[in-house]
A = this chain, B = another copy of it.
């Protein structure tokens, strides 16, 4: 299982059982034993940015995590996409919440499937409008790093590492692409 299995119906509170629904669906779902409501569970989107500063985006903003998982490791600003926002709006919101950074959002840069945990991660390129940061409670420190300064052994998540690697590789080539990556 990816998450805690559903125990009770969100509509009526009765217990559910995991079984094939009666509508021809081929996957077991949590089906209510009282009202027969079928409960679907689907992947979640995580959205964030690669906020850059300096000549040709030589420096990238990373946040030192103040929350689990991976407290004390460095990450790009990112978090779960919320209802009512677009992927771009969510990426911008997380950058403000976690780093207190002012950015101009650019195009989508990476889309990474992490099927093992049922997540899709999307990072947008972003240009920092100034180098004043005001990190929120989820962040111990927000700091700019050149490629040589990136703490590669202290990066919180594989998705962040993959995105940073491609950012600096594309920057060296002088051409930024869009990268679709599967994380095993």
Contacts and interface: CB of A to CB of B under 8 A. Distances in A.
A82 B41 CA distance: 7
A9 interface: yes
Given A83-B43, A84-B118, A115-B86, A10 B8 contact: yes
A83 B10 contact: no
Count of chain copies: 2
Interface string A82-113: 11111111000000000000000001100101
Interface string A3-42: 0101111111111000000001001000000000001111
A133 interface: no
Interface residues of A, number: 42
Nearest to A41: B83
A68 interface: no
B13 A9 contact: yes
Interface of A: 2, 4, 6-15, 24, 27, 39-45, 80-89, 107-108, 111, 113, 115, 118, 120, 137, 178, 180, 182
9 contacts: A2-B83, A7-B12, A9-B13, A13-B14, A27-B82, A42-B81, A42-B83, A81-B120, A178-B178
